[in-house]
């Protein structure tokens, strides 16, 4: 897919105040660790995640999404009457119906003519929303749109801890299926896109490429919005990187970029092993990547865009940079986007800071 008149205009995000360290999770898992004689520090060593954040219990995703979307819209400077679409793209949502986008739309007071709906595609939902809004703009159907999502990982993590401590039949081998669930965090992010005439930033979305390997759809499964998730992490890592390599090859061909012409990358945040192997597989210099998984964990569909928002906010993307957004999610689905950057526009929740770092 190619876009000629679509701009990625602004970000808005909200991070929870509550920080939960991996060490705290391991302390809560003491019954499991004692039973299986697992060494302390194992979880952080395997994942590279020191901490993650959680919203308060019973937080409705829409309530936080309204905040993030409002920040992105305000940062764009675009009058609300120009917004023709709102997509809610996170795994977490208020109900099965109506669409969470309905409450977010109501909270933002956007036009009644706007197209509003939810998109669900595991960790790629927000990226899918970007492509859908970009396509509407490219076709001249709308002039601006916002995609937003809020992932609330607390319930999944707490359910997993309860299961692991109570399931006495688990072994050192079978417990691996639940490790990925303990990496989950919470975050909310929104992205505004618009046509070139409305844009002040001029960050042009140029390319989108998709690739899937649905023979591996059962490697990561969760039943219900707040249920237990089981993941074959090792096989998902191997298969995901293989699918990512195929997608990246297509991305280079579609964008016309060479690997050494990419100035900055933002990727889905899973774990340090995944990131290391992915960059080796794609033959990319890891120094151009920016990561937040060490301090935010895996925030699902919010992971890639909030990492980009933080990187942009910290001045890590410069005028004329070529930016690659490299999304790989369960299913297995890959979605990669190319942006020619000009300037930043990010709005965050007041008083919040988060440590993040470029890969080394």
**What amino acid positions are annotated as catalytic residues?**
97, 123
Environment class of residue 63 by beta-carbon count within 10 Å: exposed (0-12), middle (13-18) or buried (19+)?
middle
Measured between alpha carbons, how far is 190 from 170 in angstroms, rounded to an integer?
A: 39
Angle at 125 between CA 123 and CA 126, to 5 degrees: 105
The residues, any chain, with a CB within 8 Å of residue 356's CB and separated by 6 or more, are: 290, 291, 292, 294, 295, 296, 307, 310, 311, 314
H-state helical runs in the chain = 22-28, 30-36, 42-47, 61-76, 100-108, 125-138, 154-166, 233-255, 272-282, 293-296, 303-313
Is the peptide bond prior to 332 cis by the omega test (within 30 degrees of 0)? yes
Measured between alpha carbons, how far is 101 from 325 in angstroms, rounded to an integer?
A: 24
Hey, which residues does 194 pair with through a beta bridge? Answer: 7, 144
CB 125 within 8 A of CB 301: yes
């Amino acid at each position: 897919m190619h876009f000629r008149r679509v701009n990625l205009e602004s970000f808005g995000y909200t991070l929870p105040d509550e920080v939960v360290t991996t060490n705290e999770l391991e302390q809560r898992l003491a019954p499991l660790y004692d039973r299986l004689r697992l060494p302390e520090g194992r979880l952080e060593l395997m994942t590279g995640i020191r901490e993650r954040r959680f919203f308060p219990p019973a937080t409705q995703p829409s309530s936080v999404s309204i905040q993030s979307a409002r920040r992105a819209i305000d940062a764009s400077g675009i009058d609300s009457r120009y917004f023709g679409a709102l997509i809610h793209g996170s795994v977490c949502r208020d109900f099965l119906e109506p669409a969470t986008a309905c409450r977010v739309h109501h909270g933002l007071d956007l036009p009644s003519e706007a197209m509003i709906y939810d998109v669900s595609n595991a960790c790629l939902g927000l990226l899918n929303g970007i492509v859908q809004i970009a396509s509407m703009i490219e076709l001249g159907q709308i002039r601006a749109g916002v995609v937003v999502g809020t992932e609330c990982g607390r319930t999944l993590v707490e359910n997993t801890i309860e299961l692991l401590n109570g399931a006495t039949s688990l072994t050192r081998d079978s417990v691996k299926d639940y490790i990925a669930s303990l990496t989950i965090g919470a975050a909310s992010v929104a992205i505004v896109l618009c046509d070139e005439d409305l844009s002040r930033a001029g960050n042009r979305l140029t390319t989108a490429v998709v690739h899937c390997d649905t023979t591996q759809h059962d490697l990561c499964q969760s039943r219900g919005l707040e249920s237990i998730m089981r993941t074959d992490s090792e096989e998902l890592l191997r298969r995901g990187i293989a699918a990512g390599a195929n997608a990246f090859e297509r991305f280079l061909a579609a964008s016309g970029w060479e690997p050494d012409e990419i100035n900055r990358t933002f990727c889905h945040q899973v774990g340090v092993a995944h990131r290391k192997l992915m960059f080796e597989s794609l033959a990319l210099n890891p120094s151009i990547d920016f990561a937040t998984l060490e301090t935010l964990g895996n925030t699902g569909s919010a992971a890639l865009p909030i990492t980009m928002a933080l990187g942009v906010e910290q001045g890590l993307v410069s005028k004329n940079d070529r930016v690659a957004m490299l999304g790989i999610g369960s299913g297995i689905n890959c979605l990669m986007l190319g942006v020619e950057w000009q300037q930043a526009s990010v709005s965050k929740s007041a008083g919040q800071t988060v440590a993040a770092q470029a890969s080394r």
